[in-house]
Amino acid sequence: MLIAFQGEIGAFSEEAVRALVPGAEPVPQPSFEAVFEAVTEARVDYALIPIENSLFGSVHINYDLLEAHALWIAGEINLRIRHHLMAVPGATLDGLREVHSHPQALGQCRTYLRTHLPRAQAIPAYDTAGAARMVARRGEPHLAAIASERAAAEYGLVVLAPGIESNHQNYTRFLLLTRSPEAVPPGLPDAPAKTSIVYSLHHNVPGGLFKSLAVFALRDIDLFKIESRPLVGSPGQYLFYLDLAGAHTDAPVQRALDHLREISATLKVLGSYPGGRTVG
Amino acid sequence: MLIAFQGEIGAFSEEAVRALVPGAEPVPQPSFEAVFEAVTEARVDYALIPIENSLFGSVHINYDLLEAHALWIAGEINLRIRHHLMAVPGATLDGLREVHSHPQALGQCRTYLRTHLPRAQAIPAYDTAGAARMVARRGEPHLAAIASERAAAEYGLVVLAPGIESNHQNYTRFLLLTRSPEAVPPGLPDAPAKTSIVYSLHHNVPGGLFKSLAVFALRDIDLFKIESRPLVGSPGQYLFYLDLAGAHTDAPVQRALDHLREISATLKVLGSYPGGRTVG
């Protein structure tokens, strides 16, 4: 079973693929667009995409790609993003002079670096897994990378200090995409418990958002996520992203969605799927 | 007047500083944390931070930093992110063999690169302005960067192809931060027209979000933004980010905020400010 993801071997997305569908083969892709193409054109069985991070927000571009492709959300997983300091075997903390990683990772580990490695220079790289690979290739003991545990294992590096990020509340939520609601990989919990939708309202309806949420509140349907996104070039127009409790085939959810269709300009159901575990 | 921003000279944030407060001196900082520290410790007069991008979502980490620092939002601006292909003077499109840029920029210009430069290799860099600087330093005519117009000017490169991104709906919204509501830079429109707040609700109140939005809907106060953010480690608990019409000193807004305080667990007003222009 092939699952496409964006990034290199050792990236956090690859870790998420392995945690969600053990035994699947992660297939690296250079961009999110390439991930969507690979699954749409059936070169892989599924795709895994990040949809939101607890520090860096929703990945709107993946919502756009979900709207543009006829794919279905079949599962989700929350992965804790832990940053480890790693170097070649034999390297010591005292000997480190350069720490390579993605600027976000360097920023998140700034307090550790200032306190423990004041003489090491932080050098930005374009991704964490790539920094680990470079440190392994060069093989010099004064070089370190900040990356995932998986990257250390993949490139034969040793972790000198685990979990050095200041904010431990760093989680990324990933979605598993299929070409049809029927094609769900074995091993996922059966019953869909969540539904994701995207909708827009007719222009200039006062209190439109409030009314659209009433279709769920009046039926006691819980919401897990709500987000407005301005439609560029259409001032005052928004897309709304909603995650709600229940499957789209449950009677109350079905009635709420019918009701929402009456009052919205557009509505797309992106998928119903089991609520995801948190790992890492 | 000094304004701190995250990134290098030639970054889009620097362009936003110059567009919002002409004549101010942009002061580069290595991270968002450093930007907040610089203005809090009065080493600069103001700070400019990105808060959301039309393709990549809200920058939650900057909401966290807003909560952790006693700063005030005094203004905003929307900057169109345009990607230009640039090289040293004398270089030609036909001669290009490498295109350097941030992976997001390379992804956004993928269709152009495939169509017009099929023989050039796309090489990821850690930021767009850094790629432009590197191309200028190496001075070789087979190298190109994808970066901002400002980066081309800064590093003496010529634009071989402007605006090569596939999706032209790429905008970043920046916020101007001050140490106090009184210290607003000259030149901004006077009247605050928008207020940004962040709040949380008591746990397990059914329909809590719906009720909290009622305090605005019942007073016909328009909302420009709503976003829920799960509180990591507290399942079912959320922070809500809201931008609403009016200043926090307007009577109806004041009453709505008092009402919201009654039913919310926490509430912080981040600032009232004039609605921003869109530039670029």
Query: Which range is most confident: A104-118, A224-238, A257-271?
Result: A257-271
The DSSP string of B111-134 is HHHHHH-TTSEEEE-S-HHHHHHH
Tell me the pLDDT band of A61, cut-offs 50, 70 and 90.
confident
pLDDT (0 to 100) of residue A92: 96
Contact check, Cβ <8 Å, A227/B223 = no
The beta-carbon neighbor of B107 closest among A33, A64, A230 is A33
> CATH 3.40.190.10 residue ranges in chain B?
2-80+170-178, 84-161
Pairing of strands B278-279, B72-80: parallel
The beta-carbon neighbor of B126 closest among A60, A103, A230 is A103
* Catalytic (active site) residue A172: yes
pLDDT (0 to 100) of residue B248: 94
Tell me which chain A residue has its CA closest to the CA of residue B131: A126
Q: For the whole prediction, is pTM greater than 0.80? A: yes
Measured between beta carbons, the chain B residues lying within 8 angstroms of A227 are 226-228
Q: Is A184 a residue whose pLDDT tops 90?
A: no
Span B3-20, average pLDDT: 92
Span A40-50, average pLDDT: 96
Q: Is A185 a residue whose pLDDT tops 90?
A: no
Span A78-82, average pLDDT: 93
Tell me the pLDDT band of A19, cut-offs 50, 70 and 90.
very high
pLDDT (0 to 100) of residue B82: 94
Shortest alpha-carbon distance between residue A75 and chain B (Å): 18
Tell me the pLDDT band of B106, cut-offs 50, 70 and 90.
confident
Rg, chain A, Cα only: 21
* Catalytic (active site) residue B240: no
Among A37-41, A206-210, B34-38, B115-119, which stretch is predicted with the lowest mean pLDDT? Answer: A206-210
CATH topology of domain B84-161: D-Maltodextrin-Binding Protein; domain 2 (3.40.190)
Share of chain A above pLDDT 90, in %: 68
Tell me the pLDDT band of B203, cut-offs 50, 70 and 90.
confident
Contact check, Cβ <8 Å, B57/A54 = no
Contact check, Cβ <8 Å, A171/B31 = no
- Nearest in space to A11 (alpha carbons), one of A143, A92, A177, A125: A125
**pLDDT averaged over chain A?**
91
pLDDT (0 to 100) of residue B62: 92
pLDDT (0 to 100) of residue A179: 96
Please identify which of the residues A5, A36, A172, A178 carries the catalytic annotation. A172
Among A43-47, A81-85, A231-235, B206-210, which stretch is predicted with the lowest mean pLDDT? Answer: A231-235
> Is the domain covering B193-279 a CATH 3.30.70.260 domain?
yes
Among A96-110, A133-147, A266-280, B142-156, which stretch is predicted with the lowest mean pLDDT? Answer: A96-110
Contact check, Cβ <8 Å, B227/A223 = no
**Is there a contact between B184 and B74 (Cβ–Cβ < 8 Å)?**
yes
Task: Quick: pLDDT tens for A87-125.
Answer: 999 999 999 999 999 877 887 888 899 899 999 988 877
Within 8 A by CB and 6+ apart from A174, the residues are A13, A16, A20, A48, A49, A50, A51, A76, A77, A78, A79
Tell me the pLDDT band of A280, cut-offs 50, 70 and 90.
confident
3-state helix, strand, coil in chain B (%, to 5): 30, 35, 35
Task: Quick: pLDDT tens for A237-251.
Answer: 889 999 999 999 999
Alpha-carbon span A27 to A8, nearest angstrom: 9
**Is there a contact between B143 and B87 (Cβ–Cβ < 8 Å)?**
yes
Residue with tokens 């931070």: B49
Contact check, Cβ <8 Å, A103/B127 = yes
pLDDT (0 to 100) of residue B27: 97
> CATH 3.30.70.260 residue ranges in chain B?
193-279
**Is there a contact between B74 and B271 (Cβ–Cβ < 8 Å)?**
yes
Tell me the pLDDT band of B95, cut-offs 50, 70 and 90.
very high
pLDDT (0 to 100) of residue B255: 97
Please identify which of the residues B172, B178, B195, B216 carries the catalytic annotation. B172
The beta-carbon neighbor of A213 closest among B60, B213, B232 is B213
Count CB neighbours of A241 within 10 A: 24
Shortest alpha-carbon distance between residue B165 and chain A (Å): 13
Measured between beta carbons, the chain B residues lying within 8 angstroms of A102 are 126
Q: Is A188 a residue whose pLDDT tops 90?
A: no
Q: Selecting from 3.30.1440.10, 3.40.190.10, 3.40.225.10, 3.40.50.720, what CATH number does the domain B2-80+170-178 have?
A: 3.40.190.10
pLDDT (0 to 100) of residue A123: 83
Q: Which ipTM did the prediction report? A: 0.79
Cα dihedral sign for A21, A27, A32, A36?
Answer: negative
Task: Quick: pLDDT tens for B235-270.
Answer: 778 899 999 999 999 999 999 999 999 999 999 999
pLDDT (0 to 100) of residue A80: 92
